[in-house]
Amino acid sequence: MAFFGIFGGGATASDAAVEAAALRSDRFRQEREADWTRLEAIVSKLEAGRSRRLSDADVLALPVLYRTVASSLSVARETSLDAATLAYLEGLVQRAWFQVYGPRVTLWGWLRRFFGGEWSRSVRALWPELSAALVLMVAGTIVGWLLVASDQDWYYSLVPTDFLDARVPGASHEALKNTLFGGSKEDGLSVFATYLFSHNAGIAILCFALGFAFGVPPLLLLIQNTATLGAMLWLFHGQGLTYDFVGWLSIHGTTELFAILISGAAGLHVGRSMAFPGKRSLLEAAAESGQRAAVVMAGVVLMLVCAGLLEGLGRQLIEVTTVRYAIGYGMLAFWLLYFFAFRRDPHSGEAA
């Protein structure tokens, strides 16, 4: 009997402890449940997109209620309240956090703001660097042409070995022409097109990524990349194929080279801001220019994807030079109009 009494007393003590914990949890919930319920109602309306139905008092109370419920959660964890109460408070605090501190723009809203003026405005803000990058690209093309014209051995230094199939000094008119047409029947041109895209995409990314070195690497990359273009222009011009070669390149090149131009300008912008920060600290100048350049580069990625589609499909399937020109320079006109004629404030939604 004594043995039974010991265990019976233990069971009674355990039951009493459970009842005390439940009572403490109930009292804790009753004292604060009104705030929890009100916060949950406000958060539910915000999540459902019914923010206009909230009163001014609810809007002002939201951050206060969030902190109150977060405090309740902290106390509940320290006092080891029941699991159901803890789970409810954790979920409510997480939902409220997103409404108080979380992002205010949805993916669709961000895309609408980005294409609705933020990207084009950021590109226009780089106009000094765009002008410098354009001069460098033109200069690089001229330098590449002149170097190869003075010594053909320069061609093998400027043009990557992946290009050296039939496109070499001394190739006949017919051999070079075959590289520009018949792409839908031959795999070689598709490989060449793929290489061009990956090569130019890499140049675009490097031009931006190396801008932190005071803008020097982007300068060299822009000149080096367009020197290759100048060397190939010289080659095809020598066989009277300049018109066809430029048309073959234009169908995607106007978009791709424009993307390289913009990425080079973004790299120069970051480098110039770090080299000449003005009254700002170096970190402030780098942060400000980097934020603008990041917006620009997000759009450059989309331009490169667009160029890849034109390169992989249009240039291989379209073999009429005039149509190639029409598509290529139609795309160029589109980009110029978007960046420099489409002036819209992405925040107000009105024309700037």
Q: What pLDDT, in 10s, does the model give residues 256-282?
A: 899 989 988 888 888 888 777 778 787
Residues 209 and 328 in one domain: yes
pLDDT for res 124: 92
Residues 115 and 195 in one domain: yes
Domain range for residue 91? Answer: 11-100
Closest residue by Cα to residue 84 from 132, 21, 13, 14:
21
Residue 235 to residue 155: CA distance in whole angstroms:
9
Give the number of other Cβ atoms within 10 Å of residue 200's Cβ.
22
Closest residue by Cα to residue 88 from 25, 24, 46, 45:
25
Residues 304 and 254 in one domain: yes
Residue 40 contacts residue 96 (beta carbons within 8 Å): no
Residues 90 and 238 in one domain: no
Residues 123 and 42 in one domain: no
Domain boundary among 39, 74, 100: 100
pLDDT tens digits for 150-193?
999 999 888 876 666 678 888 888 888 888 886 545 454 455 55
Residues 42 and 148 in one domain: no
pLDDT for res 255: 92
pLDDT for res 349: 47
Closest residue by Cα to residue 349 from 125, 117, 121, 124:
117
Number of structural domains, the chain? 2
pLDDT for res 213: 63
Closest residue by Cα to residue 207 from 120, 311, 293:
293
pLDDT for res 23: 55
Residue 95 lies in a domain: yes
Residues 76 and 220 in one domain: no
Low-confidence ranges of the chain (pLDDT < 50): 1-9, 184, 186, 188-189, 349-352
Residue 348 lies in a domain: no
Residue 5 lies in a domain: no
Residues shown for the chain = 352
* Phi, psi angle pair for 166, to nearest 5°: -95, -10
Residue 141 contacts residue 253 (beta carbons within 8 Å): no
Residues 132 and 82 in one domain: no
pLDDT for res 171: 86
Residues 161 and 304 in one domain: yes
pLDDT for res 19: 55
pLDDT for res 345: 61
Residues 154 and 231 in one domain: yes
Residues 125 and 241 in one domain: yes
Domain boundary among 42, 67, 100: 100
pLDDT for res 214: 58
Report the interhelical angle of 242-275 vs 216-238 (nearest 10°): 170
Please name the residues in contact with 215: beta carbons below 8 A apart, sequence gap of 6 or more.
267, 268, 270, 271, 272, 275
Residue 301 contacts residue 259 (beta carbons within 8 Å): no
Residues 276 and 127 in one domain: yes
